[in-house]
Amino acid sequence: MLMLPAPLSAEDVREMEILGWVENIWLRGPDMRLKAKLDSGAETSSLHAIIIKRFREDGKRWVRFQVEDPRTGKVITVVRERQRTIGIVRHAGENQVRPTVLMKYCISGKEHEAEFSLVDRNQFNYPVLLGRDALEQYALIDAGSTFLAERGCAKKKKKAPVLEPEAAEDETAAPKADVEEEPAKPESKPKERTESEAEEKTETEA
């Protein structure tokens, strides 16, 4: 079963690549390989991050956060300009406020950039969720398969240094409402192409 991230014309569909509901991506900046869940039911993508700190510098809004390479355990500090602050309505009734940042990533040999909300995703099986805002331009999702990407992504040879400006605290702006993906009952194990994965809990984000 193929899932469309957004309504598309027949010509648009022919240009799209079929990907599984779980794929490997290379997250640029920290430059690490991560497993991502592709979910057309979620609007905004999200990235597992810890020690998330918002601040202002030179009239701009910034976020300092840490990401961990699941293969090596290495923790890398990243600084990005904050795009916006969103309010998340979780299905359990909890409200959550998250900053969002732009991050570059590679999937199936192609480079992309998307807006990611930063949140601790330890309760989920995958550190990255790619929502329809990121997927609608290039991917169709095969909900019954994983790891369908035909091309891999190479690690960057050089990385730009990460700058961490000193700055004062910033108050949280009034957030825009959003909906958080929710852990739920385990899904039936899909057909896999190259790797075996633990089952992902159902997530929805509107």
Q: What is the pLDDT of residues 118-155, one digit of tens each?
A: 999 999 999 999 999 999 989 999 999 999 999 999 88
- Distance between CA atoms of residues 116 and 156, nearest Å: 21
Q: Domain range spanning residue 9?
A: 2-192
205 in a structural domain = no
Instruction: Give pLDDT tens digits for 7-63.
Output: 656 656 778 999 999 999 999 999 999 999 999 999 999 999 999 999 999 999 999
Whole-model pTM: value is 0.73
- Write down the residue that tokens 């550190």 correspond to: 127
155 in a structural domain = yes
Q: What is the token pair recorded at 94?
A: 């909890």
Structural domains in the chain (count): 1
Burial class (CB in 10 A: 0-12, 13-18, 19+), 160: exposed
203 in a structural domain = no
Burial 169-189 (b: 16+ CB within 10 A, else e): ebeeeebeebbbbeeeeeeee
Is 34 in contact with 127 (CB distance < 8 Å)?
yes
